[in-house]
Structure 1
Amino acid sequence: MCKNNIFSNISTSEWNRMLQCFQPVVQSFEAGEYIMTFSEHLERIGILLSGTAHLTYTDADGKYSILEQLSTDDVFGEVFSLPLEDQEFAVQAITPCQAMFLSYDHLVKPCSKACAHHSQLINNLFHMTACKAQMLSMHIHILSQRTLQRKLMTYFEYEALQHKSRSYTLSLSLSALADYLCTDRSAMMREIRRLNEQGKLRTKGRSITLF
């Protein structure tokens, strides 16, 4: 699990000095509002200061999928800068959120003041991008499972590793989990009931215990 964030190894005073160069914009969003949609040209990067959001994908037929759940200190906008034609990537607030937006050019190009920790910031950004690529690879691995039951068990086992426990609360709602797995919620709930009956797990709402 990637623990670094964009502020890693940068003190508060150093970060405040860099912000004078970056000239950030801070905005608040209500649940359901779109925080960012991705265009062909990447002009800014967002940092989620508070709340929870989903990185979503909608294809040309209007099919909606969740690619990633974002929480405090997560960065968005740096990976999906070249979406395919007629396909939409967006970040949507799930709870009330506050986000900071920074100019992409200010981030990747050293300023005239040559801030000592600018290179650390760029290193953090590259590290987080690598972590996101790893998470998306896991998503592909989950979706590649041949049956819905295997998709569920692969996801549940992955979540257990993240929580370091066989008993935990799902980070996604059940409706969001169905979107993440690209399946119908009713079909997913039937499979979860079967898994309970087979003794592979026990669930109560979003609480789950794997056996």
Structure 2
Amino acid sequence: MRGVDAEFLSKTPLFRGVTPQEVNEMLGCLAARPQTYEKGDLVWVEGSPVKSVGIVLEGGVRVEGADVWGNASVMGSFSAGELFGEAFAALQDEPLLTNVVATKTPTRVLFVDVTHIMHSCPRACAYHARVAENLLASVARKNVRLTRRIRDAAPKSIKGKLLAYLSTQSKLAGSSEFDIPFTRQQLADYLGVDRCALCTVIGELEREGKLTASRRHFSLPVVAARR
């Protein structure tokens, strides 16, 4: 497909295990179409039906939720190579709960019709089945991440939320020392708390000897002592 790098796509979650040549052969079959946006453009609008999954080719998109008073919150973001919209595209009759906004100029997104992914073409090629499997795996991975987030955010206090999150990260890393993927602001957004209050709690826990923190690096002495 013109303007679309098949080798780049072969490394994305949706086309993992598919060669660049096979990707090129599939794009027409999947009714794939690239679209370009400028920063601030709406890629998808809350309440609209979604029939395609999106792959960010360049730039990035942000998922935003807003209440009836207009208070917006960032639900997530996706950069080049990442896939978004899988769950809503698979359901099709479920209206989108958020806005999806381009965060850079230019932002290029490749939309792939999910119906064409789930229903094999007459050629019934093996790599078409692989793409369908990849789509299911992507939905499953995001469901697991959502489950972790719900568990991390379940405690009522900021301290409880933070310790639950750090406990999860320690287990995933298999170590009492680990790096998290968030800045302080991003961590506060993830946990749904105020950044200043979060920093205060981190300082308190450091003074209590329950953790040490340096930017994105954390250490949990209690966990280390139990090993």
Q: Which residue of 1 aligns with 2:98?
A: 89
2:68 to 60, 64, 69: 60
Query: Is contact 2:49–2:95 with CA below 8 Å preserved after alignment?
Result: no
Q: Which runs of 5+ in 1 are unaligned?
A: none
Q: Which residue of 1 aligns with 2:180?
A: 170
Instruction: Count residues with an aligned counterpart.
Output: 205
Q: Which amino acid aligns with 1:173?
A: T
1:8 to 16, 22, 45: 16
Single out whichever of 187-196 and 16-25 deviates more from structure 2.
Answer: 16-25
Q: Say yes or no: does 1:195 pair with 2:194.
A: no
Bigger relative contact order, structure 1 or 2, given CA contacts below 8 A and separation 6+?
Answer: 1
1:57-136, aligned counterparts within 5 Å? Answer: 57-80=65-88, 82-83=94-95, 88-92=97-101, 98-136=108-146
Q: Which secondary structure state, in structure 2, belongs to the residue aligned with residue 186 of structure 1?
A: helix
**What is the rounded CA distance, in whole Å, between the counterparts of 1:143 and 1:133 in structure 2?**
15
Q: Which secondary structure state, in structure 2, belongs to the residue aligned with residue 117 of structure 1?
A: helix
Q: Which secondary structure state, in structure 2, belongs to the residue aligned with residue 158 of structure 1?
A: helix
Deviation at 1:152, TM superposition (A): 1.0
Single out whichever of 93-102 and 172-181 deviates more from structure 2.
Answer: 93-102
Query: Is contact 1:52–1:72 with CA below 8 Å preserved after alignment?
Result: yes
Q: Say yes or no: does 1:186 pair with 2:196.
A: yes
Task: Name the TM-score, length of structure 1 as normaliser.
Answer: 0.78
**What is the rounded CA distance, in whole Å, between the counterparts of 2:139 and 2:41 in structure 1?**
24
Q: Which amino acid aligns with 1:104?
A: V
User: Residue by residue, what CA displacement relative to the aligned partner does 1:24-72 show, whole Å, maximum 9, x if unpaired?
Assistant: 2334556665544454422221013455654333232334344445355
**What is the rounded CA distance, in whole Å, between the counterparts of 1:33 and 1:123 in structure 2?**
31
How much identity, in percent, do the aligned residues show? 28
Deviation at 1:160, TM superposition (A): 3.7
Judging changes above 3 Å, is the alpha-carbon distance between structure 1 residues 102 and 19 closer, same or farther for their aligned structure 2 residues?
same
Q: Which secondary structure state, in structure 2, belongs to the residue aligned with residue 10 of structure 1?
A: coil
Deviation at 1:77, TM superposition (A): 0.9
Query: Is contact 1:57–1:67 with CA below 8 Å preserved after alignment?
Result: yes
Q: Which runs of 5+ in 2 are unaligned?
A: 1-11, 222-227
Q: Which secondary structure state, in structure 2, belongs to the residue aligned with residue 159 of structure 1?
A: helix
Structure with greater proportional helix content: 2
Task: From the CA coordinates, give the structure whose radius of gyration is larger.
Answer: 2
Q: Which secondary structure state, in structure 2, belongs to the residue aligned with residue 200 of structure 1?
A: coil
**What is the rounded CA distance, in whole Å, between the counterparts of 2:206 and 2:102 in structure 1?**
32
Root-mean-square deviation (Å) = 3.0
Deviation at 1:17, TM superposition (A): 0.8
